[in-house]
Structure 1
């Protein structure tokens, strides 16, 4: 395992190098940032002076070398929209996104695990049909529509939760449930299908033939072996939430990384976009490594050679 993690860490270098190239190219094909930073009344001389000050008058390969040098020092440049360094601005918003993603994932797990197991154990019953129907509906509903409906019901009509912002526990309930319901719907279907496959295995029939109670058979033997695909989807969903909660964050004005990214893209604030993409990439890599560690814990038969 130790050697495997070392190899994974060494693979981070070429991955981040490729990401740096992609981000650098995308920044330069989106247009000239000087046109955004100066008013329309600015003269061409003013534009050339600013372009020289930003190093945009140099050849493209020289700009890339300067860009990489600064990135290695943690300097992604200054945000012209917010007027401060880009990386601290991204790191300041990251805890809010982590908080929202973690609570949403917890809600999804709390709903999906029992529903998926019950649906598998009670296969082809009325309860199974109801859970399957609700999971399809939950997956089909867009996040922005779900968020608006929750706001209209629990904020506007009942006045139970605030409409927007980040503060106490009451502020995170609606945005977390908006994301968590969709996650729960997807994981419920996965858990059900995986548990159905496991419950038909020989070792499950052997455990039942020994007279073990159904609760022990399902909980001790079937559930743990069924967690590996669930851990996979949880890892993929959590990493996507770090950079993909922008719709929900925008609906609820949640001050996270997604909302910052949307604003920066609209304003062509590429220093912030570059920093955000790098941070999201690092989070994805770390989550993948942790997922492999969890695999080894759940199934000791898995070897990393």
Structure 2
């Protein structure tokens, strides 16, 4: 296990180098940074001075080396919109996105596990068909549409919950439900299929023949052994939620990383975009590593070479 963790951490280096190269190229092809930063009344001399100050008069390979050296020191440039260093701005928004992602994942797990188990136990019954149908509908509904419908019903019509912003738990309910419903629907289907496969195993039949209670058989023997696919999707979806809540955060004006990234893209604030992409990539890598480690904790038979 220790050797696997060290090997995985070493693999982070080439991945981040590749991410840095992609970000560097994308920033250069999306437009002239000088033209974006200067007003329309700027003279050619102003453009030349700023071009030299930003190092854009250097060959591309030198610009990349400079960019990489600054990134290694946590310097992704200064946001011309906020007038501050980009990385602290990104890290300042990260807790809000993390809070929303945790709430959405908790909701998804609370919904998916009991419904998935019930659907598997009641296979091919009306209950199974109902849960499967709801799961398909929940997965098919776009997040932005779900968010708008929730705002119209709970905020506009009933006046029970706030429309937007970050505050107490009442501000968290609607965006968390909007994000969690799709993930929960997907997890429900996965729990069902995993449980169906486990329930047909010989050791489950042996447990039944010993006269164990159905609840013990399902929860202790079946569900525990079917957790690995669930842990996989939880790990992958959670890391994607951190940086993938752009639409939901925009709809609910949630002051997280997603909203910051959308604003940065719209205003061509490339320092924020660069820092955000790096932070999101690092979170995804760490999340995948923790998911792999959890496999070993759930099933000691798993070995890493």
Q: Give the structure-1-normalised TM-score.
A: 0.99
SS of the aligned residue for 1:78 comes to coil
CA offset at residue 178 of structure 1? 0.3
Partner of 1:256: 256
CA offset at residue 154 of structure 1? 0.5
RMSD: 0.7
- Deviations along 1:121-171, one digit per CA (max 9) or x if unpaired, are 011111111111111110111000000000001101111110000011111
Partner of 1:77: 77
SS of the aligned residue for 1:207 comes to helix
- How far apart, in 2, do the equivalents of 1:121 and 1:57 lie? 67
CA offset at residue 188 of structure 1? 0.3
CA offset at residue 301 of structure 1? 0.3
Is structure 2 residue 162 aligned with structure 1 residue 162? yes
Q: Give unmatched runs, 5+ long, in structure 1.
A: none
Partner of 2:42: 42
- Deviations along 1:213-236, one digit per CA (max 9) or x if unpaired, are 110110000001111001111111
CA offset at residue 120 of structure 1? 0.3
- Spell out the pairing of 1:60-139 with structure 2 (5 A cutoff): 60-139=60-139
- Deviations along 1:226-266, one digit per CA (max 9) or x if unpaired, are 11001111111111111110000000000001111111111
- How far apart, in 1, do the equivalents of 2:51 and 2:166 lie? 38
Partner of 1:244: 244
- How far apart, in 2, do the equivalents of 1:20 and 1:113 lie? 38
- How far apart, in 1, do the equivalents of 2:299 and 2:98 lie? 28
CA offset at residue 293 of structure 1? 1.3
CA offset at residue 75 of structure 1? 0.6
Report the count of equivalent residues: 305
Shift >3 Å, 4+ stretches: none
Is structure 2 residue 282 aligned with structure 1 residue 294? no
- How far apart, in 1, do the equivalents of 2:73 and 2:186 lie? 41
- How far apart, in 2, do the equivalents of 1:76 and 1:282 lie? 15
More deviation, 92-101/48-57 = 48-57
- How far apart, in 2, do the equivalents of 1:58 and 1:293 lie? 44
Partner of 2:214: 214
CA offset at residue 19 of structure 1? 0.8
Partner of 1:190: 190
Q: Give the structure-2-normalised TM-score.
A: 0.99
